[in-house]
Amino acid sequence: MLILIINAGSSSIKYQLLNMNSNALIAKGLIERIGIEGGKVIHKYYKNDNLEKVEINQNFLSHIEGMRVIVNLLTDSKIGVIKDVSEVDAIGHRVVQGESVSHPVLITKEIKEFIRKISPLAPLHNPANLLGIEVAEQLFKNVPQVAVFDTSFHQSMPAKAFRYAIPNEFYINHKIRVYGAHGTSHKYVREQAANYLKNKNVKTISLHLGNGASITAINQNGESIDTSMGFTPLNGLVMGTRSGDIDPSALFYMVRECGVNFEELDDLLNKKSGMLGMTGKSDARDVEQLSYEGDKNAVLCLDLYSYRVKKYIGAYMAALNGAEAIIFTAGIGENDCNLRYLICKDLDFLGIKLDKEKNEKFNSPDRVVEIQSEDSKIKILIIPTNEELAIAQETLKIIAKH
């Protein structure tokens, strides 16, 4: 049973081809910086039990171009791992916004229309997710496809966490509430933490820090009780192109006094703010480089970014009445030792103490690692996320039913 997983982000596509008879990885890759200069493909595949690597520097104007490259790599006459796309038994897709859907579903015309209809709730991701589905349908004809929704994990949040203090009619009639995102990743790394610490009841604060970023409080039952993203993925932390938290009155002011059209606000806050708005760069690696070169805007951006994360850690320590572990995951969380340092700095009162040497030594790990100091009361873990494996497992369950 070969399952291909497509995880289309706002500026990237991650993919994995897995043999679900053994959960064995056959090939995986990352296409990054879609729509940004400096695009790259990192493709890895097994050959004679050795993991080989191919890197291609290529700009991608769209996700369609990226999907075609994936198919070409998988079926290439020299490095391909399958001869034809018909060898793939099913395709699983990560879809960010599923509204109140609490389980994966087989993709049909109706499901595609549902994903399209609720795209305004995740304007950077759902259109990319849907595009991935539609391109996959063209390239993998007659292969069943499954959607696994990021919002599902957060359906366990209590009303006090997911409701907004606005007139009830907007919740009842228009379903305006907190949905969250990155649920597949938060759920996966929490399970990995519980296994690693041999404590199924571990309370954790999970930091999924990538171009999109969110933080989630997870209780002793492994349930999300609060998360930083809200009605859409715009809320919460500073991100690559998203503003994160902002006083709504500032938006009214921008319309009245700054000449911003109301229709422009969505694009401004989702695609032109965050790191990009502050520094001109949306990729944290580029912002880091500017910071090292002394760019004041970049220095401030990193300070603001880490400060926002600190505030949420404090809030979620209160919401959980204490936690046993902090988890760093995703592109920045796993690979940026400087931002991990800035985030954990001066959190001693909460029992969070980072070991600087471990933090640098264990950067970009391929397994769970601990980076807290010996006298830290809280475990600080870096856990490589594997949303693709989690999605594959859910996809297999759905396919088995049909």
CA dihedral 18, 21, 23, 25 (to 10 degrees): -40
**Rounded (5°) CA angle 353-355-357:** 165
Q: What count of residues does the chain have?
A: 402
Annotated binding residue 48: no
Alpha-carbon distance values, 291 to 78, 254, 299, 341, 358 (Å): 42, 29, 5, 15, 23
Annotated binding residue 334: yes
| Residue 170, helix vs strand vs coil | helix
| Residue 77, helix vs strand vs coil | coil
Annotated binding residue 14: yes
Annotated binding residue 94: yes
Annotated binding residue 283: yes
Cα distance between the two ends of the chain: 14
| Dist. CA 138–CA 268, nearest whole Å | 33
| Helices and strands: H and E segment counts in the chain | 15, 14
C-alpha closest to that of 9 among 96, 101, 98, 90 = 96
| Dist. CA 57–CA 8, nearest whole Å | 19
**Rounded (5°) CA angle 10-16-21:** 145
Annotated binding residue 244: no
| Dist. CA 395–CA 81, nearest whole Å | 21
C-alpha closest to that of 330 among 270, 382, 394, 393 = 382
Indicate the pairing of strand 24-32 with strand 213-218.
Answer: unpaired
Annotated binding residue 23: no
Rg of the chain, C-alpha, whole Å: 21
Annotated binding residue 335: yes
Q: Residue 94 carries which side chain, given as an amino acid letter?
A: R
Spot the catalytic one: 84, 150, 266, 267.
150
Residue 150 among the catalytic residues? yes
Annotated binding residue 52: no
Annotated binding residue 7: yes
Binding residues for substrate: 94
Binding residues: 7, 14, 94, 208-212, 283-285, 331-335, 387
Binding residues for ATP: 14, 208-212, 283-285, 331-335
- Which residues carry out catalysis? 150
